[in-house]
Structure 1
Amino acid sequence: MKNVLLPGLLSAVLLMGCSSDTELTPVKAIHGQTMKFTALQAENKLNPYDSIGRNYRVFLSEYQNTGYNPTTFSGVSTAVATIMGSKAVAINNNEQALLSTYVSSPSLSLTTVLANSTLSQSAKDYLTTFTEDFITLRHQPFASAYTEIVNFEDTVMNSTALTTNDQRVLFTVTSLARYSLDHSCCEDTDWETSVGNIVAATAGALTDSDRAIQYLLITRIAQHENITF
Structure 2
Amino acid sequence: MKKILIGMLAALSVSCANEDDYTHEIPISKSAENELLSKKTVQVNPENPANAYDIAGRIHNEILDAYLSCTISDSTINAVSSKIDSISYLNTDLQNLPSPAAPNFQKIQQIVSSPQLQLEQILAGSPMSAAAKNSLYHFMSSVPAWQGYPYGDVHSQIISFEAGIINNVQFTAEEKRIILTSSAIARHSLYFESERKDKDWETSVGNRAGAVQGALSNSATAVASSLLAGILSRN
Root-mean-square deviation (Å): 2.2
- Map 1:215-226 to 2 at 5 A: 215-224=225-234, 226=235
Report the secondary structure of 1:70's partner residue: coil
User: Is this contact kept in 2: 1:68–1:79, CA < 8 A?
Assistant: no
Find 1:125's aligned residue among 127, 134, 148. 134
> 1:110 Cα deviation (Å)?
1.8
- Map 1:1-229 to 2 at 5 A: 1-2=8-9, 3-4=11-12, 5-6=14-15, 41-85=45-89, 87=99, 90-91=102-103, 95-182=104-191, 183=193, 185-224=195-234, 226=235
> Structure 2 length as normaliser, TM-score?
0.74
> Structure 1 length as normaliser, TM-score?
0.75
After superposition, what is the alpha-carbon deviation per residue over 1:148-176, rounded to whole angstroms, capped at 9, x for unaligned?
A: 21111111111111000001011101110
> 1:115 Cα deviation (Å)?
1.9
Following the alignment from structure 2 to structure 1, what is the Cα–Cα distance between the partners of residues 198 and 102? 29
Following the alignment from structure 1 to structure 2, what is the Cα–Cα distance between the partners of residues 66 and 109? 29
User: Is this contact kept in 2: 1:53–1:176, CA < 8 A?
Assistant: yes
Q: Number of paired residues?
A: 191
Report the secondary structure of 1:41's partner residue: coil
User: Is this contact kept in 1: 2:210–2:227, CA < 8 A?
Assistant: no
Following the alignment from structure 1 to structure 2, what is the Cα–Cα distance between the partners of residues 101 and 71? 16
Q: Is there any run of 5+ residues in structure 2 with no aligned partner, and where?
A: 1-7, 17-42, 90-94
> 1:44 Cα deviation (Å)?
0.9
Following the alignment from structure 1 to structure 2, what is the Cα–Cα distance between the partners of residues 185 and 221? 17
Following the alignment from structure 1 to structure 2, what is the Cα–Cα distance between the partners of residues 223 and 114? 20
After superposition, what is the alpha-carbon deviation per residue over 1:116-168, rounded to whole angstroms, capped at 9, x for unaligned?
A: 21112221011111122112123422222212211111111111110000010
- Assess, with a 3 A threshold, how the Cα gap between structure 1 residues 221 and 196 changes in structure 2: closer, same or farther: closer
What residue identity is the alignment partner of 1:103?
V
Q: Is there any run of 5+ residues in structure 1 with no aligned partner, and where?
A: 8-38
After superposition, what is the alpha-carbon deviation per residue over 1:170-204, rounded to whole angstroms, capped at 9, x for unaligned?
A: 11011101110113552221210112210110000
Identity across the alignment (%): 31
Following the alignment from structure 1 to structure 2, what is the Cα–Cα distance between the partners of residues 69 and 196? 18
Report the secondary structure of 1:99's partner residue: helix
After superposition, what is the alpha-carbon deviation per residue over 1:14-67, rounded to whole angstroms, capped at 9, x for unaligned?
A: xxxxxxxxxxxxxxxxxxxxxxxxx96111111111111111111112223344
Following the alignment from structure 2 to structure 1, what is the Cα–Cα distance between the partners of residues 81 and 65? 16
